[in-house]
Structure 1
Amino acid sequence: MIENLLVTLLCIDKLLKLMKKYIAIVLMTAGLYTQAQEMTLPTFTQYLADNEFVISPVYAGIGDYVKIRGNALTQWVGIKDAPDTQTLVGDVRLGQKSGVGGLIYNDKNGNTRQMGARVSFAHHLTLNNQEDRFLSFGISYNINQFRLEAKDFDTDGDGTPGVNDPGITDNRSTTNHNFDVGVLLRSGGFFASLNASNILNKQLDLFAINEPNTLRNYYLYTGYRYKKKITSRFEWEPSVFYQLFESDGRSSTDVNMKMRFWDFEDYYWAGISYRFLNDQFFTPLNIGPMMGMKKGAFYFAYSYQLITNEIQAYSTGTHMITLGVDIFQGISNCRCMMR
């Protein structure tokens, strides 16, 4: 009887492991479809780590220094082949009222790979110098390679990579060229940027013909930097980041709050982000506390995203680290270039 009980428990354990595997596969596949159809840099909360350039070209050159940020994002820690993304970003002033910037990224999601680069130009106009009111325009050229790696397929289901299907002979890849445009208004502590990403449609000559070819995403990022007194060391920054995906009409919103403590030119900050689909406000996609600091020329930030859907039973969450450096400070004399 005891032997039969042990056999039953062993079968239950194997069944639970199998269910866990298939649930994870289903959830990852859903995320994969969403990301693959856009063929662009996945946007989480990288922009909140004083790194707004990742979402809009209009921020190129805003700052009297060369700004460099490296970002590492590990999504759904604990699940095999979960999304993993790295970015390297830099921007600098060009002349007195313009700026240029560049971005490269590498993204892995299961058996798919994305590698891309972005080159941006922005021009900054002064509307009112006394009230610090500025208007900026930006444009980016993007190149993205999306690849399916057949060598990693598990076609016989034995849990090890290997292709046993004669119909699968090699990897599949496609390269997409596109453009982003944006406009930014700054007035005192208020800022608002409106951006259109991947404004050109993509060609459907490699993958399934029923795949959406509309890549356009629309971003609105707005907020306010508030100090109770000019001499105060504390600065509050509520902000909202809205994303609309034209291909299927879905949209999401981040509601953010950051607080900075200034120590002369250095500062420390902490914040939180609440992301939700716009028809599911009380069912957040994730909730992300974060913190960071700028000490001298060096910058560090860490963000954690708590998963609130079914995958939380199998993952410890999403982790993101940002490292940066600001060099050659004081290279601009125009107030329109000040952050």
Structure 2
Amino acid sequence: RSDYDLNQLSFGMSAGLVQSRLDESEFNPEFDPIIDGGMQQKDSYFNIDIGASYHYLDFYAHFTVKNAIASRRDIYTDIESDNLKKYIFSAGYVFGFQESLQWEPSIMYQYIDETKESTIDVNLKLYKEMDFGRLWGGLSYRRSLDGAQYRDGNGTADQNLQYITPILGINYKNFMFAYTYSYLTGKVNFDNGGFHQITLGVNLFCKREKYDCNCPAVN
């Protein structure tokens, strides 16, 4: 097979140390008798993520286990679980030609081990090569597979968590800029508006692309 025919299975692992700190010295205990106003705590815990990826030409699939080990966090009470494990699976395919327009539909499924909650994302991204670099954008829809009940007038109704997120980005030389806006739908919302996110990035120590594909994870 040629180097331009991508067919690769890869595995990876990452380890991290997280430090948490709780400082109640600035809290006002008049509104909550549980707060004594002087508690200061800090704690650290270790965890690992493991994953596997498969790429074949313009198809890809990823599977990840986040926070794979149970870590005791003494800063919290026994109510908070030590199990932070999440299972994430995603897959997608890139259609089109780099010289004109490419589009990439994908899905992602996420399962939280402790609460048995699950969500699914359906995404579509478009890529357009320009004289100055690359312009890209897309739309993501997230829906929880577990609904919750709430009071609606004199009765009750069900609602699933749903997000709609448009994405817009640009690559210029080794720099990347992206903007996303997540909007929570439904009658029960956390906020009246949405959530804005701006991402700035730079590619360092880049090598010549080995494969003829839209696959930054391996190129």
Q: Would the TM-score normalized by the shorter structure come out above 0.5?
A: yes
What corresponds to 1:221 in structure 2? 90
Q: Secondary structure of 2:76's partner?
A: coil
Cα RMSD over matched residues? 2.7
1:258 equivalent among 97, 115, 125:
125
What corresponds to 1:249 in structure 2? 116
Aligned residues of 1:304 and 1:317 also touching (Cα < 8 A): yes
Structure 1 residue 147 corresponds to structure 2 residue 21: yes
Higher RCO, Cα 8 Å, sep 6+:
1
What corresponds to 1:293 in structure 2? 170
Structure 1 unaligned regions, length at least 5: 1-126, 158-162
Structure 2 unaligned regions, length at least 5: 148-158
Amino acid at match of 1:191: Y
How many residues were matched structurally? 203
1:311 equivalent among 174, 189, 192:
189
Deviation at 1:208, TM superposition (A): 1.7
Aligned residues of 1:274 and 1:284 also touching (Cα < 8 A): no
Aligned residues of 1:270 and 1:291 also touching (Cα < 8 A): yes
What corresponds to 1:33 in structure 2? none
Aligned residues of 2:29 and 2:37 also touching (Cα < 8 A): no
Deviation at 1:324, TM superposition (A): 1.2
Structure 1 residue 136 corresponds to structure 2 residue 28: no
Amino acid at match of 1:278: L
With over 3 angstroms needed to count, the CA separation of the structure-2 counterparts of 1:170 and 1:262, relative to structure 1, is same
With over 3 angstroms needed to count, the CA separation of the structure-2 counterparts of 1:252 and 1:328, relative to structure 1, is same
Q: Secondary structure of 1:200's partner?
A: coil
Deviation at 1:173, TM superposition (A): 2.6
Deviation at 1:170, TM superposition (A): 2.1
Amino acid at match of 1:269: W
CA distance in 2, matches of 1:262, 1:247: 43
Aligned residues of 1:128 and 1:134 also touching (Cα < 8 A): no
CA distance in 2, matches of 1:224, 1:298: 25
2:72 equivalent among 196, 203, 208:
203
Return the structure number with greater helix share.
1
Return the structure number with greater strand share.
2
Structure 1 residue 323 corresponds to structure 2 residue 200: yes
Deviation at 1:182, TM superposition (A): 0.6
1:171 equivalent among 40, 61, 68:
40
Q: Where do residues 64-213 of structure 1 align in structure 2 (5 Å cutoff)? A: 129-157=3-31, 167-213=36-82
Q: Secondary structure of 1:151's partner?
A: coil
Deviation at 1:265, TM superposition (A): 7.3
Deviation at 1:129, TM superposition (A): 3.7
Aligned residues of 1:147 and 1:172 also touching (Cα < 8 A): yes
1:269 equivalent among 136, 161, 166:
136
With over 3 angstroms needed to count, the CA separation of the structure-2 counterparts of 1:130 and 1:204, relative to structure 1, is closer
